[in-house]
Every structure is written in structure tokens, then in C-alpha cells.
Amino acid sequence: MKDVLTDTEITLDAAVKFLWQEADILDRHDYAAWLPLWTEDGMYVIPTDTQTTDFANSLNIVYDDAEMRRMRAARLSGGFSISAAPPAQCVRTLSRFVIEDQAPGRITLRSALHVIEDKFGRQRLFAANVTHELVATEEGLKIAGKVVHLLNADGMLTSISYLF
């Protein structure tokens, strides 16, 4: 999505298409394409407490700024990583998109996410409520924030071999 003007309203349709693109990129393990979807100051968080909003002072499964996202992508893309050897095959389904907040050049969406992981011949299902904060830039939409509230996050301190 190119040429998004930063002072115009981001439509629900444009935001949903962008999030489907992100899911497809993650399903293909194309982390080199995923990293540029983010603003440099964007935060990616998977908290263990589904009720918390103070992520900096809470236990999180993931609490990634730009540098941590780059390191995570590098670890998942190459070399040996216990969580990525072999990489899990995943299918993500996003639905129930709700606009939480909207201003010119910015939209916050809440959605439902199902991830099916297949690894070592075993399938696991993860469900989450996800909040994406998207901003319009000259390069197109970018993720300024992503919070994944896994339904069973308190029991998820085991290896998760991909990004949500």
C-alpha cells in the first residue's frame, strides 16, 4: 500500500488488507519483508497478563522494540535457534476487526487471531485478541504498535517458534 497520505483517514478496508498482508508474510517466514512494516519506534508486545496495560513493568513473553525485532527475525531466519529448528508451519486467520480509535493518519484496530502451528507432526492452536496501531506514512501503512493478548498466555512460557 503505497502513497498513503498521513493527514487522511485510514479506511477499515485498507487497514484490514494491510493486516492480512502481515499475516501472510509471517506465515511465509519472510521476516525481511515483515521488519519494514514497522515504524522505528513501534513496540511489539505479548504480555503474560491479559489485563495489563503497563507492559514496561510487567512480565511479557515478547517486549520488542526495533532492535529486538531485528534480532528476533535474524534468529528465526538463520542459524540455529531452539525455537526455529525446524521452523513451524503456521496458518493465521484474522477476523472480527473493530476500530478502537481513529484520527487522521492513524487507526487502532482490535481483532481476533487464530494461529495453527504444525511442528514435528503435532498441531497446536493459539487464540488471541490483537490490537494493532497503524499509522500512515509516505511509504504506506506501518505498524506503530502490536499487542497480542493470548488467551492462555499465563501457560505459554514454553517455546513459541514464530511471531504472532
pLDDT in tens, 34-88: 999 999 999 999 998 888 889 999 988 899 999 999 998 988 887 555 555 677 8
Sign of CA dihedral 70, 6, 128, 126: negative
Banded pLDDT at 162 (limits 50, 70, 90): low
State residue 1's pLDDT score. 44
Whether residue 2 is predicted with pLDDT greater than 60 in this model: the reply is: no
pLDDT in tens, 111-138: 999 999 898 889 989 999 999 999 999 9
Residue found by looking up cell 487497514 in the block: 15
For residue 27, count CB atoms less than 10 angstroms from its CB and return exposed for 0-12, middle for 13-18, buried for 19 or more: middle
Look up the pTM and report it.
Answer: 0.88
Tell me the domain boundaries of the chain: 12-155
Class of domain 12-155: alpha beta
Question: By the 8 A CB rule, do 76 and 31 touch?
Answer: yes
